[in-house]
Structure 1
Amino acid sequence: MSLLLRLLLLYRPVWGWLALAAFLALLTLLAQTGLMALSGWFIAAMALAGVAGSSLNYFTPSALIRAAAIVRTAGRYGERLVGHEATFRLIARLRVWLYRRLERLPLAVRGAHDGADLAQRLRGDLDRLETVFLRLIAPLAVALVGGGLGVLWMGRFEPDLALAEAALLLAAGVAVPVMVARAAARRGVRQVTLLTALSGAAVEAVQGLPELLVFGAERRHRERIEALSSDLIAEQIGLGRLIALSQAAGLLCGHLALWAAVVLTVPLLAEGRLGGPDLAMLVLLALALFEAVTPLPAAFLALGGVIESARRVFALADAAPNASEAETVPQPCPTRCDLSLRGITYRWGAERAALFDGFDFDLPQGGRVALVGPSGSGKSTLVLLLTGLVTPEAGTILLGGRPITSLDDETRRRCFAVAPQSCGLFSGTLRASLRLADPEADDAALWRSLTLVGLADFVAALPEGLDTWIGAAGLTLSGGQARRLAVARAWLRPAPVLILDEPGEGLDSEAEQALLDAVIDQLDGRSLLLITHRSAGLARMEHVVRFGG
């Protein structure tokens, strides 16, 4: 329950919308039950008046019936409308909240989760959490209030009927769902686990298809996906059976309530303590009130999966350090951005050899330094150290003579523009991809960056130009074009230190040299840190640091 309470605290900005949606759901329920009960009373009263030949004021009850029908329809539409608005606002809040936590997540912790697991937590798990209020808490509150009001109304005519109705409502809406939910809790957790594993296997199949085909492992991987899919279907079938069982129990309780109403009110009719229209009204009301508990079985059955999703999301969020007040107020960048590393020691895990052990390195402002070495020698790890994504075990990193740890995260990020080894392109347009570096950049600045990296003619020839959609991970671009676009984006960012990590991937040596010459000619006082295992551009570097012998 602590997880659910914590989740509700995150709902605070949309509590008003959620409360309005719950109120409209209650209003709809009252109109629905009132419509059935009043219609039963009215039909019976009209029939008796016709038999007796007496007059009856039918204007008032018919007007109330029409009003109840209108309120039911409008309330249901309004509840859906407000509920969706509340959900969309909640989606925006929860996803932004988790993304901001992930920004501060240590790289070692982030690396413990594969991409599919993170995607499942960001999508599937959050999808469950976003509907907790509208699918679990609100239906339970509406059932308690609406059912309670209906039971109180019955108590005015026959207390025993009210007690019987209350007992059957609790049985159908709470007792049976809780018992079934306890039986389904394991299935809910298992379903979340299987969804994560299936998502991971599917991503691996798509991204690693060439390797699977080369090593002849595609059949084994397909069998794994089929096994996970079969297990997931089995869990879903099991949950479906439990839902059917709970719905059958609710239907049985509803019919028992109807018969209880008949058995308990007929003697009152014989004694003259109850009129025929009132009997019809109470019998139909006893059945209609079960509309209040209809959503509860599915809500309780989903509780196990909801709690597991909440546990997974909060476990990921709690792994990130809390933001301090200093982090919320960006500091000014240092007036000079000379970089100095002194005595840096770092290793990926205690059992692995140190990549750096007392490492010293200098990059003066406006300087050009290259880090050269084979893969795995620690070149890219140095970028992570500089940008704060990992923390050295020992040593000091100075920026402008100040320890880099004294800068808040936002200020530290503003000091570096990085073209990483993986291009990091998102699904969107060329314009949107470039403006990730500088949201205020105008089209002229975008074209200058494209001209710098040799993409201007290619983009100009496209029918939609800068508005061309590049697809997920730059799918519509070649490897060389994607690399050029990543360099253009880094160059566009107004940061004093430019870091290019393997900028020549996908390019031949001449194209790489031309790209680096263009970038170096347009540094305009910025520092350049070139990370490479090739010789292109080294002749124009002021200093070359070699790794790995």
Structure 2
Amino acid sequence: MTDLLRLLKLFTPYRRWMLGGIALGSVVILANVALLALSGWFIASMALAGLGLQTIAYFAPAALIRGLAILRTGARYGERLVTHEATLRCLAELRVWFYERLEPLGPAAMDTWRGGDLLSRIRADIDSLDNLYLRIVAPVTNALLCGIVIVAGLAWFDTRIALLDLAALMLAGAVLPLLALKLGDAAGRGLTEARAALDGAATDTVRGLGELAVLGAVTRQRERVAGLAERLIRHQRRQMWVGAIGRALSGLTANLALWGTLILVIPRVAAGDMPGPQLAMLALGVLASFEAVAALPTAFAAFGETAAAARRLVEIADATPVVTAPDPAAARTPARFDIAFDDVSMRYRDEADWALAGFSLTLEAGEAVGLVGDSGAGKSTILALIQRFREFQAGEITIGGVSVRDIDDATLRQTISVVAQRTHLFNASIRDNLLLAKPDASDDEVREALRLAGLEEEIAHFPDGLDTLVGEVGTRLSGGQARRVAIARAFLRDARILLLDEPTEGLDADSEARVLEALGNLMQGKTTLLVSHRPRALAFVGRVMRVSKSDLVTAGS
């Protein structure tokens, strides 16, 4: 409940929409109860009038019935429109809130969660929270408001019937939902966990389908996914059963209340203490009053799912970023672009071995240095530290004499460009992927960056040119083309520090030559750190340093 209340506070800017939806929902319920009760009275009165047993003023009740029908229809349309608008606005606010808390965690703190699990939290868990307003807050509030009005209206005619209806509404609107909450809690939580596991497995399957096919493991993976899907269905089935039983018991309670009303009213009508048409009015009014609580058992059956989803979102929102941003008032901007690592040590977890121990290195502004070493020696860690993707536990890293811990993120991103072995290209056009580096770049600037990266002629021969879609993670481009798109981004950014992480790894000789030619242009005048074991790439730097867990040895210049 604490997590749900915390998330509910995020919806405060949309309280008017939420209250408007609740008000319209109450109008719908009360109009429906009044319509059914008045219709019962009117039909019974017309029947008696037809037998000559009484007279009736026809036009007033007939007009009122038509008015209630129109009011119910209009209010129902408005209620659906407003409540869904409120829900969608609230979910949009929740997504922004979640992303704002997720972004500072990346990439270091996000290692805790699988990509598929994060996707499940962003999509399925946030979507599950539409229950919070649409199926819990609004129905419960409507039930309270309408229950009070209906019971007060019944008490005007017969206190005993009002008390009977109150007891039945309490049973159907409080006892049964709480029972559904208890019975459905485990299923709801299990449903959220099963959905997350299935989303993660499905994501892994799609991403690794090639490897699964090569290893002959597609069938095993399919069986695993099918097992997770069956687990999800079991929890869904149990939740649906709880909701169905709750609805059935609510309907039974409504019919018992109807019979109780008849038992109380018939003797009064027989004794002449109450007009006959009021029998139909009270009986149908009591039956219709259960519309106010009809949705609650199903809603509370799904409460466990909603609570589990909220807890999973808050878990990430409350996670502590591994790297903390500097105080804006204390942030500094480097005036030079030399880099210094002074006795830097870093490990990924407190109990883990050192990934980097006592590392020192100085690069003058405009100097290019290559880093070589065995796998796991800490070369990529060095690049991650200067980008503030990871936190170091000892030593100091400075740019132009300013600690990287004192440089705000926006300044650091403008200072550094990166070309890595794995360049992520979004499933968008070549132009859109390049404009990530400089959103206000003109087409001429984009083409110049492509020319410097050695891609202009190749893209000019594409049917759609700059508007060519690169496909998921750039699958419509060759490895060398994708790498040169990253280089073109770096040209557009024109940052003074350049980090190159295995930029030619996995390329054939021809693609490597093209990429290196583009990198040679890019490195001119920039302070450059190159991680590579390819001799053709290392030929572009002034000196090479070997990184080792035990010591550092200058390999040559």
Normalising by structure 1, we get a TM-score of 0.93
Please give the alpha-carbon distance, in whole angstroms, between the structure 2 residues aligned to 1:419 and 1:43.
80
Native 8 Å contact 2:34 2:285 kept in 1:
yes
Q: One-letter code of the match for 2:79?
A: E
* Cα distance per residue 1:132-186 (max 9 Å; x no partner): 1111111111111112211111111111111111111121122112112212211
Q: One-letter code of the match for 1:492?
A: L
Distance verdict in 2 for CA 1:336–1:62, change over 3 Å: farther
- Residue of structure 2 in register with 1:537 after alignment: 537
Q: One-letter code of the match for 2:104?
A: R
* Cα distance per residue 1:484-506 (max 9 Å; x no partner): 22332233224332223222244
Native 8 Å contact 2:356 2:381 kept in 1:
no
Q: Structure 1: which 4+ aligned runs deviate by more than 6 Å?
A: 322-326
Partner secondary structure for residue 129 of structure 2: helix
Native 8 Å contact 1:343 1:358 kept in 2:
yes
- Residue of structure 2 in register with 1:220 after alignment: 220
Once the two structures are TM-superposed, the CA of residue 374 in structure 1 deviates from its matched residue by 4.4
Partner secondary structure for residue 348 of structure 1: coil
Partner secondary structure for residue 520 of structure 2: helix
- Residue of structure 2 in register with 1:243 after alignment: 243
Please give the alpha-carbon distance, in whole angstroms, between the structure 2 residues aligned to 1:416 and 1:258.
75
Native 8 Å contact 2:427 2:470 kept in 1:
yes
Q: Which residues in structure 2 correspond to 1:33-72 (within 5 Å)?
A: 33-52=33-52, 56-72=56-72
Native 8 Å contact 1:101 1:320 kept in 2:
no
Native 8 Å contact 2:332 2:408 kept in 1:
no
* Cα distance per residue 1:189-248 (max 9 Å; x no partner): 111111111222222222223333343433333332222222222222222221211111
Distance verdict in 2 for CA 1:23–1:3, change over 3 Å: same
The reply on whether 1:26 has 2:26 as its aligned counterpart is: yes
- Residue of structure 2 in register with 1:93 after alignment: 93
Q: One-letter code of the match for 2:507?
A: L
Native 8 Å contact 2:131 2:306 kept in 1:
no
- Residue of structure 2 in register with 1:232 after alignment: 232
Distance verdict in 2 for CA 1:338–1:178, change over 3 Å: same
- Residue of structure 2 in register with 1:442 after alignment: 442
Native 8 Å contact 1:453 1:518 kept in 2:
yes
Distance verdict in 2 for CA 1:117–1:2, change over 3 Å: same
- Residue of structure 2 in register with 1:400 after alignment: 400
Once the two structures are TM-superposed, the CA of residue 253 in structure 1 deviates from its matched residue by 0.8
Native 8 Å contact 2:346 2:357 kept in 1:
yes
Once the two structures are TM-superposed, the CA of residue 405 in structure 1 deviates from its matched residue by 0.9
- Residue of structure 2 in register with 1:255 after alignment: 255
Native 8 Å contact 2:331 2:406 kept in 1:
no
Please give the alpha-carbon distance, in whole angstroms, between the structure 2 residues aligned to 1:516 and 1:424.
19
Partner secondary structure for residue 284 of structure 1: helix
- Residue of structure 2 in register with 1:269 after alignment: 269
Q: One-letter code of the match for 1:76?
A: R
Please give the alpha-carbon distance, in whole angstroms, between the structure 1 residues aligned to 2:540 and 2:53.
110
Report sequence identity in percent: 42
The reply on whether 1:518 has 2:523 as its aligned counterpart is: no
- Residue of structure 2 in register with 1:109 after alignment: 109
Let me know the Cα RMSD of the aligned residues. Answer: 2.5
Distance verdict in 2 for CA 1:242–1:130, change over 3 Å: closer
Please give the alpha-carbon distance, in whole angstroms, between the structure 2 residues aligned to 1:358 and 1:322.
21
Once the two structures are TM-superposed, the CA of residue 352 in structure 1 deviates from its matched residue by 4.0
Q: Which residues in structure 2 correspond to 1:481-492 (within 5 Å)?
A: 481-492=481-492
Please give the alpha-carbon distance, in whole angstroms, between the structure 2 residues aligned to 1:328 and 1:120.
33
Once the two structures are TM-superposed, the CA of residue 345 in structure 1 deviates from its matched residue by 0.4
Please give the alpha-carbon distance, in whole angstroms, between the structure 1 residues aligned to 2:247 and 2:404.
61
Please give the alpha-carbon distance, in whole angstroms, between the structure 2 residues aligned to 1:27 and 1:527.
69
Distance verdict in 2 for CA 1:45–1:396, change over 3 Å: same
Distance verdict in 2 for CA 1:538–1:251, change over 3 Å: same
Q: One-letter code of the match for 1:115?
A: G
Distance verdict in 2 for CA 1:45–1:471, change over 3 Å: farther
Partner secondary structure for residue 396 of structure 2: strand
Q: One-letter code of the match for 2:433?
A: S
Ranges in structure 1 where 5+ consecutive residues have no aligned partner: none
- Residue of structure 2 in register with 1:467 after alignment: 467
Please give the alpha-carbon distance, in whole angstroms, between the structure 2 residues aligned to 1:346 and 1:13.
43
Once the two structures are TM-superposed, the CA of residue 130 in structure 1 deviates from its matched residue by 3.8
Distance verdict in 2 for CA 1:51–1:494, change over 3 Å: farther
Please give the alpha-carbon distance, in whole angstroms, between the structure 2 residues aligned to 1:432 and 1:84.
33
Please give the alpha-carbon distance, in whole angstroms, between the structure 1 residues aligned to 2:222 and 2:338.
53
* Cα distance per residue 1:322-369 (max 9 Å; x no partner): 999966779573222322111100123345432321111223333322
Please give the alpha-carbon distance, in whole angstroms, between the structure 1 residues aligned to 2:298 and 2:478.
48
- Residue of structure 2 in register with 1:206 after alignment: 206
| Deviation larger for 457-466 or 302-311 | 457-466
Native 8 Å contact 2:378 2:547 kept in 1:
yes
Once the two structures are TM-superposed, the CA of residue 407 in structure 1 deviates from its matched residue by 2.2
Please give the alpha-carbon distance, in whole angstroms, between the structure 1 residues aligned to 2:35 and 2:496.
71
| Deviation larger for 444-453 or 191-200 | 444-453
Once the two structures are TM-superposed, the CA of residue 523 in structure 1 deviates from its matched residue by 5.2
Partner secondary structure for residue 252 of structure 2: helix
Q: Which residues in structure 2 correspond to 1:255-404 (within 5 Å)?
A: 255-321=255-321, 333-404=333-404
Q: One-letter code of the match for 2:113?
A: H
Native 8 Å contact 2:421 2:504 kept in 1:
no
Q: One-letter code of the match for 1:147?
A: G
Q: One-letter code of the match for 1:17?
A: W
Distance verdict in 2 for CA 1:466–1:70, change over 3 Å: farther
Please give the alpha-carbon distance, in whole angstroms, between the structure 1 residues aligned to 2:364 and 2:64.
83
Please give the alpha-carbon distance, in whole angstroms, between the structure 2 residues aligned to 1:130 and 1:486.
40
Normalising by structure 2, we get a TM-score of 0.91
Once the two structures are TM-superposed, the CA of residue 53 in structure 1 deviates from its matched residue by 7.3
Please give the alpha-carbon distance, in whole angstroms, between the structure 2 residues aligned to 1:503 and 1:20.
57
Q: One-letter code of the match for 1:264?
A: L
Distance verdict in 2 for CA 1:39–1:537, change over 3 Å: same
Native 8 Å contact 1:150 1:289 kept in 2:
yes
Q: One-letter code of the match for 1:151?
A: V
- Residue of structure 2 in register with 1:174 after alignment: 174
Q: One-letter code of the match for 1:39?
A: S
Distance verdict in 2 for CA 1:327–1:269, change over 3 Å: farther
Native 8 Å contact 2:322 2:391 kept in 1:
no
Native 8 Å contact 1:341 1:362 kept in 2:
yes
- Residue of structure 2 in register with 1:433 after alignment: 433
- Residue of structure 2 in register with 1:493 after alignment: 493
* Cα distance per residue 1:400-429 (max 9 Å; x no partner): 211111223333333222233322222323
Partner secondary structure for residue 499 of structure 1: strand
Q: One-letter code of the match for 2:142?
A: V
Please give the alpha-carbon distance, in whole angstroms, between the structure 2 residues aligned to 1:281 and 1:524.
89
Distance verdict in 2 for CA 1:462–1:71, change over 3 Å: farther
Please give the alpha-carbon distance, in whole angstroms, between the structure 1 residues aligned to 2:38 and 2:457.
75
Native 8 Å contact 1:418 1:500 kept in 2:
yes
Ranges in structure 2 where 5+ consecutive residues have no aligned partner: none
Distance verdict in 2 for CA 1:457–1:58, change over 3 Å: farther
Once the two structures are TM-superposed, the CA of residue 91 in structure 1 deviates from its matched residue by 2.6
* Count, aligned residues: 549
Please give the alpha-carbon distance, in whole angstroms, between the structure 1 residues aligned to 2:283 and 2:490.
73
Please give the alpha-carbon distance, in whole angstroms, between the structure 2 residues aligned to 1:136 and 1:49.
45
